[in-house]
Chains A and B, each alone.
Chain A
């Protein structure tokens, strides 16, 4: 089932600055997609458009087969959970528990307490339920914001720079959380290493859609990367250098796990070669 279908979407800001041009994007149920691109490419704008916060636009946006326009924005938003870049923009209520319940209560959803408990559990912040959100660390606030979105049980999660401003530990635990979450996601990010860990597919915005496919495949397209000003993950850079030294990987690794698998393969191959030389 198509959770999101965007066709020929163009949007220009009120001051005349073009933000998006002829964007086509389809996301199937359960798919995790990252929107990447340089600053000003329109990643956040795309998310806000899909959430119905930027109207009018040219083209069409359908969420769960429901068309989005000014009239239907509130209804379409019921299918969507939008995580803002800065959790302080999202957290409103005086306690974590009440903030997580904010969406379900507003939308008059059933079993609010169950939803809150589940959302707190899935983000591992049950022990923060009674705490004041403004007293928490940035990483914890992000989790509270995610729990607030999850409690609404949306069909599509839109995450705007989820790893921005997090320390390494918070970042990796958030990546782990998002990776294990079985939700349809569209993530706007600069963080290619995080994207590599979480998503199956990337969409590169640079003017229009400059690339749509797997991250490993994108990493092999140097011209596209250079034009978009993107830096490959460190692990991909390492294997590109090794390729120059004669070590050709089956696929260009984009995650640490893939890198380890390729390194083990190289080591096995070297062992075989030295065995052959001896015999």
Chain B
């Protein structure tokens, strides 16, 4: 995201939350979504039979299709993660053969797609507060929240610098051989970090001024509803079924 931003094409990070508001997933308790998605991802990671892995991938894709998160957004995010998935799959393929490499790609893709749908179908702060309420150490959840805030600040600064750059006639060149363009993009990136760091310091003082120590606490806490239990039960059933079939095949 940051690289795209520096080059001048940016999606404001908070716009990512728009999909969460559009999706029915956004109405579920974040804890239910996290538990459901993680159980499914763990079950998928345990699979070794190709047909079951493909079934898991199909389930993940169906989950994405039903989630009402725009498929273009999911595809774009998946393409962002694809190089890492391919890196793992190709190394397995080189050492253990085509079938294992394919299994690795399908298994990893299934987990990644499920987690992408979870991330896109949940507002970022909700996701962090869900983690916090699932007893993830407060240091971890607070660091995640502060990192997210810092990314928002970076995005803001990048947008400002992009506007200032464009207003004075700068256009991104056509590749790495555009020396001047490359130099300006490097300056932009450097300056963005300097400015964002100063703003992050102010932001931290802003938090401390209102009593923040190390824990990001919320005004209200919700209770799990029937639909949340239904969501978790659905994922637990699917995951159990996959694991049982896998164990049955191993015996």
Contacts and interface: CB of A to CB of B under 8 A. Distances in A.
Interface stretch (B38-46, B78-86, B206-214): B206-214
Interface in A83-132: 84, 86, 88-94, 97-98, 101-103, 105-107, 112-113, 116, 132
B219 A103 contact: no
A48 interface: yes
Interface residues of B, number: 24
Contact of A90 (B14, B17, B206, B218): B206
A98 B218 contact: yes
A80 interface: yes
A277 B213 CA distance: 75
Interface in B187-213: 199, 202-203, 205-213
Contacts of A53: 205, 208-209
Contacts of B206: 84, 89-92
B125 interface: yes
13 contacts: A51-B209, A77-B209, A86-B199, A88-B203, A89-B199, A90-B203, A92-B207, A94-B123, A94-B125, A102-B210, A105-B219, A106-B211, A152-B210
Contacts of B211: 77-78, 103, 106-107, 152
Interface of B: 14, 17, 123-126, 149, 152, 156, 199, 202-203, 205-213, 217-219
A149 B205 CA distance: 13
Nearest to B152: A134
A149 to B, nearest CB: 8
Contacts of B207: 92
B206 to A, nearest CB: 4
B119 to A, nearest CB: 15
A137 to B, nearest CB: 15
Contacts of A81: 209
B153 to A, nearest CB: 8
Nearest to B204: A89
A90 B219 contact: no
Contact of A89 (B202, B213, B217, B218): B202
Contacts of A84: 202, 205-206, 209
